[in-house]
Structure 1
Amino acid sequence: MNSLSTDKLIRYSKILLMAYFSIFGLLVIYSNFTDYPSNYEYVGHILSMDTTQHNVNISHRAITSPMLHHRIYWVIITLEVLFTSFCLLGTYQLYRKVNASAEIFHEAKKISIIGLLIAIFIYYVCLQVIGVEWFDMDTSQNWNAKDWARHIVDFAFPLMIYIAIRIER
């Protein structure tokens, strides 16, 4: 343990945290492909606004077309595959460069940061901003992913900051 410097421990912690988030992404993708109907139903209810508090001022925002529900859900799945792929590749790049100079290790962070940015787009912009503010998702008793998405952003955003900061020597 004496040969493990703080600098090396920080580098390994960044690799491990990216691996943890990559595992989350893999589980999300697995769930989307093995339980497509349940997850599609979730997306359909949010877009249809059929379980939210009826508000005539915003009910025109609802998307009720099942075809559009499928297409939007596939966009979400595609983005989740992208974020997971970037996070996995970013984890690998960090691992490959763990013993490199500080500059080279720092440059290896790019792919991880892209993956985390895509994840934040999905769970913050798509779910928390559009889902809550446009489709009124937070008023649904059964189909409300606001808190779930917030927990993911609460991990991904600080992780992105931690990965991006240059504290390794």
Structure 2
Amino acid sequence: MNALTMDKTIRYSKVILMSYFSFFGLLMMFSNFTDYGSNYQYVAHVLSMDTTEHNANLRYRAITSPILHHRIYWLIITLEVTFSTFCLLGVYQLFKHINASGEEFHEAKKFSVIGLMIAIFIYYVCFQVVGVEWFDMDTSQNWNAKDWARHIVDFILPLMIYIVIKIER
């Protein structure tokens, strides 16, 4: 029987952590498909800027078209499906190469990295940068997801670093 080495433990921890994040992605997808209306309302309110502090200098940024609200929401859903798919492929590739050489295991990380980069785009660029800085989301009492998105990014960034670092032999 193979002894559990530190190298093997690190490899398994990378597979498990990517599995956790993939599970999060699957839950997000499930929520968006099964509760489209509630999640759509969030997107519509943020884009319309109808619940933010009324700063006349920023109102020109509002997108009030329901058609654009749906399209932007579907873009977000598509990106979430994409990141989840890449993360799941990453878990599969990492697990498949768990006993491979260090080089092969390191190469198996590419789908995980792609999935995490897409997730950073969604939760950092789209929500924190565009949502907060452009649509003034953080001034809304009811439709503010700044802290929620920050907590996700706070998990993704260290995970990305941990996955990418080549410490396996």
TM-score range, shorter chain: over 0.9
Task: Give the alignment of 1:143-158 within 5 angstroms.
Answer: 143-158=143-158
Alignment partner, residue 47 of structure 2 = 47
Q: Which residue of 2 aligns with 1:127?
A: 127
Q: CA RMSD in A?
A: 1.0
**In the TM superposition, what is the alpha-carbon distance from 1:65 to its structure 2 partner?**
0.2
TM alignment of 1:34-73, pairs within 5 A = 34-73=34-73
What's the counterpart of residue 82 of structure 2? 82
TM-score by structure 2 length? Answer: 0.99
Query: How much has 1:2 moved relative to structure 2?
Result: 8.1
- Could you tell me how far 1:57 is from its partner in structure 2? 0.6
CA distance in 2, matches of 1:89, 1:3: 27
Once residues 12 and 82 of structure 1 are traced to their aligned partners in structure 2, the CA distance between those partners, rounded to angstroms, is 24
Aligned to 2:167: 167
Please list every run of at least 4 consecutive aligned residues from structure 1 whose deviation after the TM superposition is greater than 3 angstroms: none
Give the TM-score normalised by the residue count of structure 1: 0.99
Q: Unpaired runs of 5+ in structure 1?
A: none
Question: Structure 2: how far apart are the matches of 1:88 and 1:156?
Answer: 15
- The corresponding residue for 2:31 is 31
1:100-137 CA-partner distances (Å, limit 9, x unpaired):
00000000000000000000000000000000000000
* 2: CA distance, partners of 1:6 / 1:140: 47
Unaligned 5+ residue runs, structure 2?
none
- 1:162 maps to a residue whose letter is Y
Q: Percent identity?
A: 76
1:60-111 deviation line (CA, Å, top 9, x unaligned): 0000000000000000000000000000000000000000000000000000
- Tell me the secondary structure at the aligned position of residue 94 of structure 1: helix
Count of matched residue positions in the alignment of Structure 1 and Structure 2: 169
Secondary structure of 1:50's aligned partner: coil
